[in-house]
Chains A and B, each alone.
Chain A
Amino acid sequence: MSTDPFWTQATADFERRCQVVVVGSGAGGAVTAVTLAEAGFDVILLESGFRYTGNEYQENVSGGITQLYAEGGFRTTVGKPPIPVAGGETLGGSTVINSAICFRTPEKVLADWNESCGGLMPADEFYPAQDEVEACLMVKRTPDGLLSGYDRIHRESARSLGWSEHNIRRNTPTCAGCGRCNMGCNVNGKMSVDRAFLPRAAAAGATILTGCRVEAVAPGRVEGIVRAKDRSVVGRFVVHADRVVLSAGAIGSPRLLLDSGLEGTSGAVGKGLRLHPVFSIMGFWEDRRCVAPGATQGHYVDQFEDDWIVLESNPTLIGAVFNFLPVHGQEGMRLMSKAANFASTGAMLRDFGEGEVKSSRGPGARIKYGLADEDRQRALKGTRIAAQLWLEGGKADFVVLPVFGAPICRSLADVDRVLTPDLSPNRIMGYSSHPQASCRLGSALDRTGQLIGVDGVHVIDAASHPSNVGRNPQITVMTTARVLASRLAADLGKTVKPLWAGPGPLPPATPQAEPCGIRSTARLNILDGAGGAPGHEPGARSARHPGP
């Protein structure tokens, strides 16, 4: 077996016993593992993906996606419209490939949750845990000096319209502004959970194994296959445990339960899925380059939060410009030669329609999801708002809408001709990175995340959310995990140690930026603006819950 200080890649058959086995190493699994291991449990954590660092990360999008994303990045829903659903499959899960965006859970969302789950997430338990999580992740608002070219034009456009806008808070204490968060940070600039929590869990005695894909779950036991990095099967494993915790994400966890015939008595496993669909709108400026290094996503507009629509500046991928551009031939090539003049914003919805994760009947997940009519209407509204941002705020020459076959739009009148109230959902192109609420607290799960009707099997991850957050959810997922894992530990007679125990960064160490061979000196200069000692941002905490 090849090892480093905190993880081991399994390479052959094995059978082990422990007190708690955690399936999945993302936002939910890592926090669960560190909470339980530091409380004194003997923990084994199984991750189906692999560990990559530094120069093992890929130099292009297709390489990064096939290396780090579930189902090679081609996981998608069935429904109107089909929606790609991204998710990480690597040690650290989606926190390794997200844009490091950190939103606190809105108080009205928590109130909604408590209404629907019978008060299982009281604010005085939830927000102190969230303060701890944010301290550990060194969450800080993106400094102006680290805004990318896309962020700056996003901010400029929003300000010219007088809209409420902010720099995004992120867990990137030593960000170098490469803009490649979604393909894995190779300069250790991001406090993903493989840096913030998994080494601590290992230090507390947890065993962390990669390449272990769980295929069946039962009370007291999980089993599956051991894979090499080339995806070949090199063995099988069985882990016996007093408690099984599924943290394989809102798609993976219910899928595992359903494939294993473990539905409990609620009938709610897999149901209630929300996706936070995002609709990207590109603006184009004939004489303005938008590309400039900086944060992957550093700016957002919350002017329309009453409609649960947020606009977030997006990194503009050249391949995506090509995919969306409705112009082919030589004119298409001419526009592509100016692809650096496109900027993109994503209109993200807190969706109210519900989808379903079904038993898989094969190697891929089966996700059923259709855009509910109310969500479709808000998708159209979000798209129009984004078009307004670029056309009126940014004085863009034209916008490209996420509507299949829509022409280039040079004015809001053009946009309105496309976004008719009866526009079929089949033509709307969205994507999702935040599946949630497919195994909900209060419906499928009890107060410790235990599956109702099945003793000893818990679900602790984004699936456990009583509904969706309406914001990028990694902080909420970690907080939920911390709350549920702490309750589980306490119920089993253990004392939970603080996640953050004092001022300053937590172990294992203060993260250091590492040289990455960035070619542009402009990027290195950014470090001056972003620099300063790494640390959390105390001002972000709620007045009611000042934190430890």
Chain B
Amino acid sequence: MSDPDVTFEFSRRRVLLFGGASAALLTAAYHGMRQVGFYESDPLDVEVLTTKEIAVFRRIGAYVVPRNQWFPGHGGDDETLRRIDGLLARLPKHKRGLLRALPHVFEHGTGLDRVGARRATALPEAKFTAYLDHWAEASETDWVVRSQLWAGLMTLYGMTYWERPEVLDVIGAPILCSARR
């Protein structure tokens, strides 16, 4: 069955519009495909963090507080993750939501660096390191949001890994005295 009133006019304008829209759609789809992925379930017992958030915090933590000869553990180990989870759980909901957005921003911020980039945790080590170094060097720009996001991320590790009693023991810094001791 055909409708005699419907006609197609392949004007140059229409072709360009259609082509442009298709290209944009394909780019967005490609970009999106590169950013999605599965995260292996983590056996860590947590209250608020999702599997994805754990994966991102683990990868970043191991970079900003790497294994080293001085301190026990590292920024991506179970104890640090449990402490991050505990800190987030104690925050008021609206602040918790903001801080929980951080791993998502860093995971998908690769897309701001280059269209079609893979999500951060899927990057090979060298590219991942270069990516985070770029965040840490955001100081050279005046983009306040970027530097604040990085500072927020560092605060989370500062208030978790660097509060572990065994870490403070290495430094010789006092734990806050407590009547519980």
List residues of chain A with CB under 8 Å of any chain B CB.
54-55, 57-67, 71-72, 74, 80-82, 176, 178-180, 183, 186-187, 231, 289, 291, 293, 318-323, 328-330, 333-334, 336-340, 362-364, 403-406, 424, 426-427, 429, 514-520, 523
Chain A proximity of B162: nearest CB distance (Å): 4
The one of B98, B148, B181 in contact with A519, judged by C-beta atoms closer than 8 angstroms, is B181
A518 contacts across to B, CB distance below 8 A = 177
- Asked if residues B175 and A334 are in contact (CB atoms below 8 Å), the reply is no
- Asked if residues B181 and A517 are in contact (CB atoms below 8 Å), the reply is yes
A340 contacts across to B, CB distance below 8 A = 171-173
- Asked if residues A404 and B172 are in contact (CB atoms below 8 Å), the reply is no
A167 to B179, CA, bound (A): 28
List residues of chain B with CB under 8 Å of any chain A CB.
63-66, 68-71, 83, 87, 90-95, 98-99, 136-140, 142-144, 147-148, 151, 154-155, 157-160, 162-163, 167-168, 170-181
The one of B63, B143, B163, B177 in contact with A62, judged by C-beta atoms closer than 8 angstroms, is B163
B159 contacts across to A, CB distance below 8 A = 61-62, 65, 319
A293 to B160, CA, bound (A): 23
The one of B64, B68, B93, B147 in contact with A427, judged by C-beta atoms closer than 8 angstroms, is B147
Tell whether A426 pairs with B144 under 8 Å between CB atoms, given A72-B95, A318-B173: yes
29 example contacts (A-B, Cβ-Cβ < 8 A) are as follows: A57-B178, A59-B180, A60-B163, A60-B176, A61-B159, A61-B176, A63-B90, A66-B90, A66-B91, A71-B92, A71-B94, A74-B99, A81-B144, A291-B174, A293-B174, A318-B163, A322-B65, A322-B154, A330-B68, A333-B66, A333-B68, A337-B71, A363-B93, A364-B94, A405-B139, A424-B142, A514-B179, A515-B179, A517-B181
A61 contacts across to B, CB distance below 8 A = 159, 163, 176
Tell whether A80 pairs with B144 under 8 Å between CB atoms, given A66-B87, A322-B154, A519-B181: yes
- Asked if residues A62 and B70 are in contact (CB atoms below 8 Å), the reply is no
A427 contacts across to B, CB distance below 8 A = 139, 142, 147
Chain A proximity of B159: nearest CB distance (Å): 4
Tell whether A333 pairs with B70 under 8 Å between CB atoms, given A71-B92, A426-B144, A427-B147: yes
A64 to B137, CA, bound (A): 31
- Asked if residues B176 and A405 are in contact (CB atoms below 8 Å), the reply is no
A404 to B148, CA, bound (A): 9
A336 to B171, CA, bound (A): 8
A81 contacts across to B, CB distance below 8 A = 144
The one of B98, B139, B177, B180 in contact with A406, judged by C-beta atoms closer than 8 angstroms, is B139
Chain B proximity of A230: nearest CB distance (Å): 10
A236 to B173, CA, bound (A): 45
B92 contacts across to A, CB distance below 8 A = 71-72, 231, 363-364
- Asked if residues B64 and A328 are in contact (CB atoms below 8 Å), the reply is yes
A159 to B94, CA, bound (A): 47
A328 contacts across to B, CB distance below 8 A = 63-64, 136
